[in-house]
Amino acid sequence: MADRIGNKRRYITGFDGLRAIAVIGVIIFHLWPNVMTGGWLGVPLFFVLSGYLITDILIQEFEKTGTIRFGSFYLRRVKRLYPALVVMLLATATAIAFFARPLLYNLRAILVTNLTYVYNLWATVNGDSYFEQWGSASPFTHLWSLSIEGQFYLVWPLIVWLLLKLKVPRVRVAQGLMGLALISALLMAIYYNPTNINRAYYGTDTRLFALLIGTALAFVWPSAKLNGRAKRQTRRLLNLAGFLAMAMLVFLFFTLNGEWAGTYYGVMFLASLDIAVIIGVTAHPATVFSHWLNNRLLNYIGTRSYSIYLYQLPVFVFIDIWTKHNHHLAIGLWKIVLVLILAELSYQFIEKVFKRYYGVDNIFNFDSVRIYTAFVMMMAVMATSGVLTPQASGPKPTTKLEQRLKQNKKLLAAQNAKALSAQQAGKKATSQTEETSSQSASTAKGAISIAGGATSAVARKYNLTDAQYQTVKSKTVTAIGDSVLLDAGPSLQELMPSTVVDGQVGRQPNEAVTLVQQMAAKGTLAQNLLMVIGTNGAISPAQVQTVMAAAGSQRQVYWVGVAADRAWISGNNSVLLAAQKKYANLHLIDWPDAAKAHPEWLGPDKVHPNVQGSIQYTSLIAQKIAEN
């Protein structure tokens, strides 16, 4: 950290290293979420660090001068954050206007809310999910965290000044702040909604706890009071606490899924407490963390972490568009290189330039006028390129796929009620059916021949023999999955009317696993369980084991392999292949090979089957079910 307090500058060694760890985690998460599932924890790391640093600066200033110079504080924050943000917003908006016009939706609102630091509040209602992996992702989604920090910087100096002026005991202040942090964490749990996490994830009130934890730490662990000549026993205890906390953070970086319910029911809060321990240990000059995190590479990344954070998602989104979402490792590395180049330019020509101006006298010098002129030119480019047109103020357009999925969901809801009733009726009639099964066998054969015309028509549509069709049409099935299931759901119910389809756009594997457990506990799982999950995130062997345990050995479980171009897909299919060898009642449906052999069965996104593909998709499922 480098900032001005009176006439002195101070620097806490190791903090740039923590910034580097935070931004590296975020970048890897956005590039390879299957590799670092919890890399998004870099944002809470930024939050706790900001809460600590800003509070520590304000306390030191008050101790030295007896007051807090609000104007000076706000000017420093504006110079540090605003110019780079404005340039990134204008550059990204201009790139959208020229090269990615489908992303023009909501652009005006996005620019205004980011410039006024209320973007996170707007995103709770209008924004895309932070964990959305498909479609035309917004290049601005990551900026929600900057809005929360901007709001914090606005009000926090006044609160610190009042607390210090009233001479409230600092331990009491820290206790009060931790109490507020607990309330914030409770609000996160209350507002958590697995079908739409935006309110819990983006809300200022639900994410404030990380900043508050940092502020509480600053009141009881001020950096100015930390002695580099601490006793040996003290150093050992601090280093041990640091190692344990860092090991836990690394573990969470690689394991914590941002869409798990547990994440919002306290795990994110506990992770922020763990981060506070790391920050407290690093702030102490006698610890090894203060030295190990203070090296040339980490300091380089840390000092540019703000610009790196600004440009990473725009670069990733644009390159994904231009390369048609090719996630080859080499492309990922080129993305990182481009982000670092843009961040270096931003750091050298925006951040450092504005950092040199400390007073109003500098506002109208020659260098400043050149910068303002560049801003005006960029605004003119935006205006002439169509960014400020009505299209830029409109909502996100609905694609044909989204329209079809929405319509399918309505159709499925109506049919699900009938299917569930049929399943319940079937359970009651099971004993009677068993008693008369031998007598009805010959009658059934006659019925097949009499109704052969209708049977053959449906069978031909789905490439089934009449025998296969007669086997599957009366099967009771519970189908749980994501948008791919929603796409194929009507075909499944046409072929197997007693199928209950529970599909949801963007559904993660952990949500599907939880749903299976809940339905098993309620006794609403059918005799056949169809899983269409794994498109949106990694499947673990433990999750498959949980599904199989909930289904039990008497049910047949059918799991459709995933055909898509995402880094975690091959791993998911490998997990399913291994699980199929372990469980006799688990049957893997090889959709990936079928889709590879027939790319014409896939829609434009190369993930969801088109109309013809849905028929073929359903056919594969039916053929597998008919075998058992």
pLDDT value of residue 421: 78
pLDDT value of residue 114: 95
More confident of the two residues 382 and 461: 461
- pLDDT of 609 > 60? The answer is yes
Going by C-alpha positions, the residue among 80, 57, 75, 68 that lies closest to residue 9 is: 57
CA angle in degrees (0–180, nearest 5) for 484-487-489: 100
More confident of the two residues 424 and 297: 297
**C-alpha of 517 from chain center:** 24
pLDDT value of residue 429: 54
Torsions phi, psi of 261, nearest 5?
Answer: -60, -40
374 confidence band (pLDDT: 50, 70, 90): low
SS in 3 state form for 244-281? HHHHHHHHHHHHCCCCCHHHHHHHHHHHHHHHHHHHHH
Determine the length of the chain.
Answer: 628
pLDDT value of residue 404: 84
Which residues are 477's β-sheet partners? 499, 528
Lowest mean pLDDT segment, chosen from 178-192, 516-530, 556-570? 556-570
pLDDT value of residue 2: 40
11-15, 153-157, 355-359, 382-386: range with highest mean pLDDT? 153-157
pLDDT value of residue 445: 40
Residue 554 near residue 525, CB atoms below 8 Å: no
pTM of the model: 0.82
- pLDDT of 16 > 80? The answer is yes
369 confidence band (pLDDT: 50, 70, 90): low
With tokens 């807090």, the residue in question is: 68
Q: Any alpha helices (H) in 100-143, and if so which ranges? A: 107-115, 119-126
- pLDDT of 146 > 70? The answer is yes
108 confidence band (pLDDT: 50, 70, 90): confident
- pLDDT of 510 > 70? The answer is yes
Average pLDDT of the segment spanning 378-406: 66
- pLDDT of 598 > 70? The answer is yes
Tens-digit pLDDT profile for residues 233-292: 999 999 999 999 999 999 999 999 888 889 999 999 999 999 999 999 999 999 999 999
Helix (H, G, I), strand (E, B) or coil at 528: strand
Average pLDDT of the segment spanning 335-349: 95
621 confidence band (pLDDT: 50, 70, 90): very high
Which strands, in side-by-side order, build the sheet including 586-589?
Answer: 499-503, 477-481, 528-532, 556-560, 586-589
pLDDT value of residue 440: 39
Cα–Cα distance, 528 to 236 (Å, whole number): 58
- pLDDT of 479 > 90? The answer is yes
Burial tier of 306 (Cβ tally within 10 Å: 0-12, 13-18, 19+) = buried
pLDDT value of residue 130: 86
Tens-digit pLDDT profile for residues 158-177: 999 999 999 999 999 999 99
Helix (H, G, I), strand (E, B) or coil at 368: helix
Q: What proportion of the chain, given as a percentage, has pLDDT over 70?
A: 86
376 confidence band (pLDDT: 50, 70, 90): low
Name the helix (H) or strand (E) containing 10. Answer: strand 8-10
Tens-digit pLDDT profile for residues 324-338: 777 788 999 999 999
- pLDDT of 620 > 60? The answer is yes
pLDDT value of residue 188: 98
Radius of gyration over alpha carbons of the chain, in Å? Answer: 29
Residue 17 near residue 293, CB atoms below 8 Å: yes
Going by C-alpha positions, the residue among 234, 233, 236 that lies closest to residue 244 is: 236
Helix (H, G, I), strand (E, B) or coil at 387: coil
Q: Which amino acid is at 360?
A: V
With tokens 């702040």, the residue in question is: 177
613 confidence band (pLDDT: 50, 70, 90): very high
Distances (CA, A) of 164 to 66, 67, 72, 280, 328: 9, 9, 18, 22, 54
Tens-digit pLDDT profile for residues 449-470: 434 455 678 888 999 998 899 9
- pLDDT of 585 > 60? The answer is yes
- pLDDT of 433 > 90? The answer is no
4 confidence band (pLDDT: 50, 70, 90): very low
Average pLDDT of the segment spanning 593-611: 90
The overall average pLDDT reported for the chain is: 87
- pLDDT of 3 > 50? The answer is no
Average pLDDT of the segment spanning 553-558: 95
